[in-house]
Amino acid sequence: METTDEINVGTDFAFLNNKVFGSFDYFTRKTTGILITPPVAATLGEGQTKAVNGASKSNKGWEFMAGYRGSAGNDLKYNITANITHFRDKITELPENVRPAYAGNIDNTIIGHSQFDIFGYKTDGLFQSQADVEAAPTQIGAGPGRIKYVDINDDGVINSFDQTWIGTTLPAAEYGLRLDMTYKKLDISVFGSGVAGREGFDVYTVFNNLMRGRENVGPGVFNGWTPQNTDTNVPALTLKDNNGEGRTSDYFIVNTSYFKLRNIQLGYNITPKAIFSNLRIYGMADNLFWTKSKSYLSPDPERIDLDPVPIPKTFTFGINASF
């Protein structure tokens, strides 16, 4: 049976005549007996898979929200709120026979790691010469201009046992900011949110930096390694990926933090003499701009899959009329 034990501690606060307000929440959740379907040896034939209660995990996190209500005279009123959350999960128990279905290997299991952690190879730039290749641990597919993988277990061979935990796709924090302000008949509101301290894969690197026989490639390949062009992180161009460079490695991991200004609104209220009781003219923009790390090549940091349909920028103008 799947069981969850949860503790939530929280406090709401307000002081200075409710001008400053906010809340803080801390939660921990332990789930045991999570249903999982262990892989079955092929020799047993069809219809043998069954779900069992086996895994346990824990989640911990906190949420903080604070706001300020302010005014100056009778004309200006404003309201600022900010929130920030942090969360980590950890797999604490996983039966041995299901571990092959998860990230990790025999030496380095997922126990104690998050399901969002990344398991793969560490890289150390590109091989610059044949001498460089020969001095390095044996790596099948190595050659000048090829990605150099790190021999984690120091056995002189690069193989699957050199994989390790190379990062997590969980952010250090997610946050949001909001400002609402009115000045006489004018009102303005701004809302933005983002994630901080996050890394992950940039699928564009695969298409921009690596040659692929099947698809078009990005302009990054013009900067491919050659004996003359060694100051680059783009491997030598090849149609044959003998080095297995598409494998999960920190080569593809970049800072994926971002901040997006999601919505901004500007309005003006007028009180007409007849017909309408109130009229508000407003303009609104969605997704006006965002910031992201330069090393992250994909256009939209929020869309981390391969076929990102970009979130459009939207501009709206309108009139609210009340009778």
Partner 1 sequence: MKKNIILGVFAVGILAVSSCEKELDYTPTGVLSSSDLTSPKAIDGLVTSAYAAIGNGDMIGPIYSNWVYGSVRSDDTYKGGGGTGDVGEIDALEHYNLVQPTMDAFVTRTWRNLFKSISRCNVALRAVTGLDEAAYPEKKSRLAELHFLRAHSYFTMKLLYKNIPIFDENVSQEEILQISNDLSNEESWNKIAADFQYAIDNLPEVQPELARANKLAAQAYLAKLRLYQAYEQDVNHKVTNINKSRLQEVVNLAKAVVSSGKYSLSPDIAENFLPETENGPESIFAIQFSINDGTTAGRMSYEDGLNYPHGASQYGCCGFHAGSQNLVNAHTTDANGWPNFDSFNNSIADLSIATVDPRLDHTIGIDGHPYKYDNTLPFSNSWVRDAGVYGNFHTMRFQQAASSGSYFKLGPFMGTAKNYDILRFDDVLLILAEAYIQLGQQDLALPLINQVRERAANSTSKLKKADGTFASKYNVKAIHK
Binding residues vs partner 1 (CB under 8 A): 41-46, 48, 140-141, 160, 212-215, 239-242, 244, 247
Rounded to the nearest whole angstrom, what is the least distance from the CB of residue 22 to partner 1 in the complex? 42
Cα–Cα distances in angstroms (integers) from residue 299 to residues 76, 142, 292, 312, in the given order: 38, 32, 9, 12
Rounded to the nearest whole angstrom, what is the least distance from the CB of residue 154 to partner 1 in the complex? 20
Strands 186-196 and 258-270: what pairing?
Answer: antiparallel
Strand, helix or coil at 112? coil
Rounded to the nearest whole angstrom, what is the least distance from the CB of residue 158 to partner 1 in the complex? 10
- Let me know the angle formed at the C-alpha of 139 by 138 and 145, rounded to the nearest 5 degrees: 120
Closer Cβ to partner 1, 46 or 231, answer by number:
46
Helix, strand, coil percent values for the chain (each to nearest 5): 10, 50, 40
Rounded to the nearest whole angstrom, what is the least distance from the CB of residue 214 to partner 1 in the complex? 4
* Helix H or strand E segment including 147: strand 147-149
Q: Give the whole-angstrom CA distance, residue 69 versus residue 14.
A: 11
Q: Give the whole-angstrom CA distance, residue 55 versus residue 28.
A: 17
Q: What tokens appear for 206 in the block? A: 């695969």
Closer Cβ to partner 1, 145 or 301, answer by number:
145
Rounded to the nearest whole angstrom, what is the least distance from the CB of residue 243 to partner 1 in the complex? 9
Rounded to the nearest whole angstrom, what is the least distance from the CB of residue 5 to partner 1 in the complex? 25
Q: Give the whole-angstrom CA distance, residue 321 versus residue 273.
A: 13
Closer Cβ to partner 1, 45 or 312, answer by number:
45
Closer Cβ to partner 1, 149 or 258, answer by number:
149
Q: What tokens appear for 172 in the block? A: 């250090």
Closer Cβ to partner 1, 41 or 275, answer by number:
41
Rounded to the nearest whole angstrom, what is the least distance from the CB of residue 261 to partner 1 in the complex? 39
Closer Cβ to partner 1, 46 or 307, answer by number:
46
Closer Cβ to partner 1, 184 or 212, answer by number:
212
Cβ-contact 243, 210 below 8 angstroms: no
Rounded to the nearest whole angstrom, what is the least distance from the CB of residue 134 to partner 1 in the complex? 19
Nearest C-alpha neighbor of 180 from the set 79, 61, 265, 293: 79
Closer Cβ to partner 1, 61 or 143, answer by number:
143
Cβ-contact 280, 272 below 8 angstroms: no
E-strand ranges in 184-277 read: 186-196, 199-201, 253-255, 258-270
